[in-house]
């Protein structure tokens, strides 16, 4: 396997007595569009900041493009980052903001940046502080992509955008991805949007990695089983992640590498959103071996 674009090993970040991230080990393969999802406070922003060198780990390590990104101008030149709420210098014009990019990034593509602004109808003379949410996101994205990075890291880029702006932003991001083989890691609450564009999923819950893997594989190996009520929620050949029962019916959310032969159960496919929600509802469940997993262990790792 080629070097993962972003790789963490037992990555931990602590602030005094609060754990922001705990023993996170994951790898984002190069060329993937990876979604980082999880509830507020799960550690998504912390993880992204660690990946771009804005934070130092308390213990463990993070490697972006094969090296620690901290104080490495050469690594930073190959990573484009947009922080939450797309911070810009409010007093700068759009033109100034692009100038900043040009002066601070040796691989800056000025024509591309200007063209992008033109295409999104953003006036170069306008002050960054007076831009709309969608325009700010586009300017910030341009700043991150015009240096032609190999990896793009985006922290909740859709959060403050209206639906139209969201679609435009995603389309813009996908267009850039289509042109070159780059890796994207973005965090979001909006799992349905993620389902359109992501082929790799990371779920963070309570500062730990809960789910990790290719979206196709995850959707192929998780099923919702419905059937007549059975008090013992066990299925041969599958790991039961959650179970709920009504008087007559049991519904199980399971993971398995094989199809469920038992005719007692009717198997349904799950959407990515359902998968994420099921896992988030079971904080103790984890796809990875580790202290968080309480139930039956399955040491199978779902990875490309």
Partner 1 sequence: MIAFRLETRSGLAPYLQLVHQTKDAMRLGLLQPGDQLPTVKEVVTSIAINPNTVLKAYRELEREGLVEGRPGVGTFVLRTLGGPNSNHPRLRRRLERWIAGARDAGLDEESISALFAATLRGSLQQEDIA
Partner 2 sequence: MIWLTWRQHRQQALAAAIGLGLVAGFFLVTHPGIANTFNSTGLASCLGTPGRDCGQIADQFDRQYRGLQFLVPLFLVVPLLVGLFWGAPLVARELEQGTHRLVWTQSVTRRRWFSTKLALIACAVVVGAAVFAELVTWWSGIFVRLHDARFTPGIFDIRGIVPVAYALFALALGVLVGTLVRRTLPAMAATLGGFIAVRVLVTLFARPHYVAAKTASTPVVLAKLGGIMVGNDSFAGGWIIKQVTVDRLGNVLSGGQGLDFASLSGRCPGVIPPPPTEPSPAQLAACLDRLGVHTLTTYQPATRFWAFQGIEFAIYAVLALVMFGAAAWVVRRRLA
Comparison of 99 and 109: residue with beta carbon closer to partner 1: 109
166: left (phi over 0), alpha (psi -120 to 50) or beta: alpha
- With CA atoms as reference, report the closest residue to 292 among 203, 206, 213: 206
Please provide the DSSP assignment of 130-157 as one string: GS-HHHHHHHHHHHHHTT--SEEEEEST
Q: Considering the complex, what minimum distance in angstroms separates the CB of residue 205 from partner 2? A: 22
Applying CB under 8 A, does 73 fall inside the site for partner 2?
yes
Q: Which is nearer to partner 1, 172 or 286 (CB)?
A: 172
Position 179 contacts partner 1 (CB under 8 A): yes
Nearest to 33 by CA among 154, 121, 138, 135: 154
| Residue 233 in tokens | 């929620």
Which residue lies nearer to partner 2 by CB, 56 or 115? 56
**Is residue 201 a contact point for partner 1 (CB under 8 A)?**
no
Record the tokens describing residue 175, joined without a space: 């267009």
**Helical H segments across 146-199, by residue range:** 163-179, 191-197
For residue 150, the minimal CB distance to partner 2 (Å) is: 13
Q: Does 192 bind partner 1 (CB under 8 A)?
A: yes
Strand boundaries in the chain, DSSP class E: 6-15, 18-28, 33-37, 59-64, 79-82, 151-155, 183-187, 200-205, 208-214, 222-228, 239-245, 249-255, 266-269
90 binds, among partner 1, partner 2, none (CB under 5 to 8 A by kind): partner 2
Question: Contact between 210 and partner 1 (CB under 8 A)?
Answer: no
Shortest spacing between CB 132 and partner 1, in angstroms: 19
Pick from 91, 178, 228, 291 the residue near partner 1 by CB under 8 A.
Answer: 178
Site for partner 2 in 89-128 (CB under 8 A): 89-90, 92, 96, 99-101, 103-107
Kindly indicate which of the ranges 63-71, 110-118, 197-205, 278-286 contains the residues binding partner 1, using the contact rule CB under 8 A: 197-205
Distance CA 294, CA 157 (A): 34
Q: Among residues 81, 169, 200, 253, which is the contact residue for partner 2, using CB under 8 A? A: 81
Residue from the set 14, 60, 72, 290 that interacts with partner 2 by CB under 8 A: 72
> Of residues 24-53, which lie at the interface with partner 1 (CB under 8 A)?
33
Q: What is the DSSP letter of 52?
A: T
* Alpha-carbon span 92 to 146, nearest angstrom: 18
Q: Which of 193, 109, 128 is nearest to 159 (CA)?
A: 193
Residue 55 engages partner 2 in binding (rule: CB under 8 A)? yes
Query: How far apart are CB 174 and partner 2 at their closest, in Å?
Result: 22
**Residue position matching structure tokens 């594989």:** 217
* Residue closer to partner 1, measured from CB, 115 or 175: 175
Contact 169, 120 (CB under 8 A): no
Region of 18-26, 129-137, 194-202, 229-237 interacting with partner 1 (CB under 8 A) = 194-202
Residues that bind partner 1 (CB under 8 A): 33, 167, 170-175, 177-179, 192, 195-199, 216, 219, 259, 269, 271
Residues that bind partner 2 (CB under 8 A): 49, 52-56, 71-74, 76-77, 79, 81, 83, 85, 87-90, 92, 96, 99-101, 103-107, 140, 143, 147
């Amino acid at each position: 396997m080629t070097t993962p674009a972003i790789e963490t090993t037992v990555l931990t970040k602590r602030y005094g007595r609060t754990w922001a991230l705990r023993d996170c080990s994951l790898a984002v393969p190069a060329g993937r569009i990876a979604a980082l999802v999880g509830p507020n406070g799960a550690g998504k922003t912390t993880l992204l900041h660690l990946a771009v060198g804005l934070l130092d780990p308390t213990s463990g390590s993070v490697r972006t493009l094969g090296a620690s990104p901290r104080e490495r101008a050469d690594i930073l030149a190959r990573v484009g980052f947009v922080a939450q709420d797309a911070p810009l210098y409010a007093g700068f014009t759009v033109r100034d903001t692009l100038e900043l990019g040009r002066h601070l990034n040796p691989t800056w593509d000025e024509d591309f940046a200007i063209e992008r602004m033109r295409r999104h109808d953003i006036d170069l003379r306008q002050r960054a502080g007076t831009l709309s949410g969608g325009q700010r996101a586009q300017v910030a994205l341009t700043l991150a992509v015009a240096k032609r990075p190999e990896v793009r890291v985006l922290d909740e880029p859709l959060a403050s955008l209206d639906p139209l702006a969201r679609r435009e932003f995603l389309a813009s991001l996908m267009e850039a991805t289509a042109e070159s083989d780059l890796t994207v890691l973005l965090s979001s609450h909006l799992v349905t949007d993620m389902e359109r564009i992501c082929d790799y999923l990371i779920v963070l819950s309570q500062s730990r990695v809960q789910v990790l893997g290719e979206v196709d594989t995850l959707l192929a190996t998780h099923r919702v089983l419905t059937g007549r009520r059975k008090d013992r929620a066990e299925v041969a050949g599958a790991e039961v992640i959650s179970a709920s029962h009504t008087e007559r019916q049991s519904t199980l959310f399971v993971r398995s590498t094989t199809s469920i032969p038992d005719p007692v159960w009717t198997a349904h496919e799950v959407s990515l959103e359902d998968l994420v929600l099921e896992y988030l509802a079971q904080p103790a469940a984890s796809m990875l071996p580790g202290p968080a997993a309480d139930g039956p262990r399955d040491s199978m790792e779902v990875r490309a």
